[in-house]
Structure 1
Amino acid sequence: MSLHLYSHPLASFCHKVLIALYEQGTPFQAHLVDLGNPDAKADFLDLWPVGKMPVLRDQARGRTVPETTVIVEYLHQHYPGPRALLPADQDACLQVRLWDRFFDLYVHTPMQKIVADHLRAPGEKDPRGVADARATLATAYAMIERQAGERGWICGEDFTLADCAAAPALFYAAIVAPLPPEHSRLTAYYDRLMDRPSVHRTQVEARPYFHMYPFRHLIPARFLQDDSP
């Protein structure tokens, strides 16, 4: 097996890469990184000293590839699958890259700020930072509402890198900052994402770890139910 993915099933940014891999049916070896285990943490830091997941290791090409967008683009370039997650047209590709960055920076990052602040000790909390994060999410939700079509995906009819970024960002963001009911197109897009087989598979794999999530009591019941036959 050439491709080795170092990640954790609960980690939201790891979902982005897993969705891309499952979309393409790309074979890979999964390695669960337990940063609470000193030996496992030391091994992972040897691979990528920054210590952020996920990281892809391509044994055949001798490459270590960090950062979710770079990983998906690397897979697109060297291990293409049946459906391109980046369009061939350069203008369309720039639009996909824009929305990929949008979901990472303006949905994913403020969501993580809210979660991280919840875990802080009382004297270390940052209420202003959390308020700013919630304001950023509100702006982002309104912008997605304008961008999302009645059908299809965030950049058109094809599922792309941008949708791989959107799925985990919106899944976790909607838990801590519920989608406004007046944003019907955003809600419909969210539902299409959650029903996508690659997204559903990623969430099912995360389900055994949901008890570790700080806002586990707010996870909608639909994501906690065993839907196996």
Structure 2
Amino acid sequence: MLLYAHPFSSYCQKALIALYENGTPFDFRMLSPEHPDTLAEHAALWPMQRMPVLVDAGRTVVESTIIIEYLDIHHRGPVRWIPQDPDDALEVRMMDRFFDNYVMTPMQRIVFDYIRAPEQRDAAGVADARQLLDRSYQWLDRAMAGREWAAAGAFSLADCAAAPALFYADWVHPIAPALTNARAYRSRLLARPAFARAVDEARPYRKLFPPGAPDRD
């Protein structure tokens, strides 16, 4: 298998966690200006030019959630990303959507605003994103009471989504100290070997973080 990705990308890290967790063999295709041939291959495979993209035996799979579900079907390992029980599977998918839509998306809105020219910045949009993150953190803190992992009692697709989302979101809008369940969950994710590997591989690229990466994690 080939994975077209960049180590510092949150959605690429989401897919990498699943690959690393189960020791699934694959070849990494680096998406950066230093590799123009790889960028051209990626654009031909997926004209939207979003990452990650997985290629397996001639089949192209896009979007990190779908890539992880694909791995669960076609390259199954000891960790199951979607539970067999239908209700547990719904819980996992719901939490996956929560982290992508209500943590990752507002985090990226704040980050991308730093890239804009000063006269084009969206102060109202950033304020809305910060308010959404606060509500998300508060909801997550209640949801994680008594839980080790996000859903269905086991490490799953939901945690693959949570790890990079909370990692970067806490950089741009810190989780309040009073939200001890949410903060402890983020710490557990950082200690998970598969995510720790992804974080370490991304360290050389922290200078790319538009708001400036904090000196932690």
Common fold by TM > 0.5: yes
**Aligned partner of 2:170 among 174, 179, 183:** 174
| Partner residue, 1:46 | 44
Instruction: Extract unaligned runs of 5+ from structure 1.
Output: 224-229
User: Do the aligned partners of 1:175 and 1:219 also contact (CA within 8 Å) in 2?
Assistant: no
1:214 maps onto 2:217 in alignment = no
Correspondence 1:4-153 to 2 at 5 A? 4-35=2-33, 39-59=37-57, 62-153=58-149
Distance 1:6 1:160 in 2: 22
Counterpart secondary structure, 1:117: helix
Distance 1:37 1:58 in 2: 21
| Partner residue, 2:194 | 198
Aligned-pair CA distance for 1:83: 1.6
Distance 2:143 2:34 in 1: 40
Q: What does the per-residue CA deviation read over 1:133-162, in whole Å, with 9 as the maximum and x for residues that have no partner?
A: 111101110110011133410114310000
Give the number of aligned pairs: 217
Aligned-pair CA distance for 1:93: 0.2
| Partner residue, 2:184 | 188
RMSD over equivalenced CA pairs, Å = 1.3
TM-score, length-scaled by structure 2: 0.96
Aligned-pair CA distance for 1:37: 5.8
Distance 2:156 2:66 in 1: 14
Distance 1:168 1:87 in 2: 21
Distance 2:31 2:77 in 1: 26
Distance 1:18 1:133 in 2: 26
Percentage of matched positions with identical amino acids: 49
Aligned-pair CA distance for 1:49: 0.3
Aligned-pair CA distance for 1:119: 1.0
Q: What does the per-residue CA deviation read over 1:73-123, in whole Å, with 9 as the maximum and x for residues that have no partner?
A: 000001000121111100000000000011000000100000000111011
Runs of 4+ in 1 over 6 A off after TM superposition: none
Instruction: Extract unaligned runs of 5+ from structure 2.
Output: none
Distance 1:131 1:38 in 2: 37
User: Do the aligned partners of 2:163 and 2:190 also contact (CA within 8 Å) in 1?
Assistant: yes
